[in-house]
Amino acid sequence: MYTLITAEQIALRIKELGATISETYQGRPLTVVGVLSGSVIFVADLMRSIGIPHRLGFVTASSYRGATTTGGEVTVGTGLLPDITNRDVLLVDDIFDTGRTISRLLKELDHARPASLRTAVLLWKDGCSQVDLVPDYHGFCIPNQFVVGYGLDYDDDYRHLPMIGVLEPQDLK
Ligand code: IMP
Ligand code: MG
């Protein structure tokens, strides 16, 4: 595996994102909603860089797919979602690849009638989108490579790594 984005680069970028988000939502009833499981590390760090009061909720999303392949139906769970009606919601995920997960989640959250609904992702994969939608905030644009670490997994491993890495053929099962 080789490192694509270091822990230091991630930390710096999250400070910038937090400052921008704090400015945008100043005086607003903000709820940050993380997408389990990939966003947990990002959402924990992002929250601590947002300098205004806000609440936290989670949703789950899974798509029927192989370890590194994309496509398939996205299944959404809202059992951990607090009441977001009339609140400003920032949906936070690890990566925007095809965009199908975020797109599906936005439709679901919209049913609860939030005051506003925006998206923040750590990584945005260049040129992979299959939906008519872009994230409102993103940490880094990356090439179309399979990445792990900082919450992102390959077959449920590697989430604990502090940096973003690219797997090499010998790392793949
Ligand atoms: P999308 O629906 O295609 O945008 O994919 C979003 C989800 O796919 C993310 O929440 C990740 O769980 C997973 N994913 C997409 N690309 C990668 C990757 O390069 N590494 C790890 N997980 C990925
Ligand atoms: Mg995920």
Residue 67 in this model has a pLDDT that exceeds 80: no
pLDDT for the residue 4: 98
pLDDT for the residue 126: 86
Ligand 1 contacts CB of residue 81 (under 6 A): no
Mean pLDDT of the chain: 95
pLDDT band at 172 (very low <50, low <70, confident <90, very high): confident
* Structure tokens given for 166: 């690219």
Q: Which fold would CATH assign to domain 2-171? A: Rossmann fold (3.40.50)
Ligand 1 contacts CB of residue 96 (under 6 A): yes
pLDDT for the residue 16: 98
* 96 CA from centroid of ligand 1 (Å): 7
Question: In DSSP terms, which residues pair with 42 in a beta bridge?
Answer: none
Residue 94 in this model has a pLDDT that exceeds 80: yes
Mutate-to-test residue for ligand 1 from 62, 64, 94, 148, highest number of ligand atoms within 8 A of CB: 94
- 162/63: higher pLDDT: 162
pLDDT band at 70 (very low <50, low <70, confident <90, very high): low
Ligand 1 contacts CB of residue 70 (under 6 A): yes
- The stretch 147-154 carries a mean pLDDT of 98
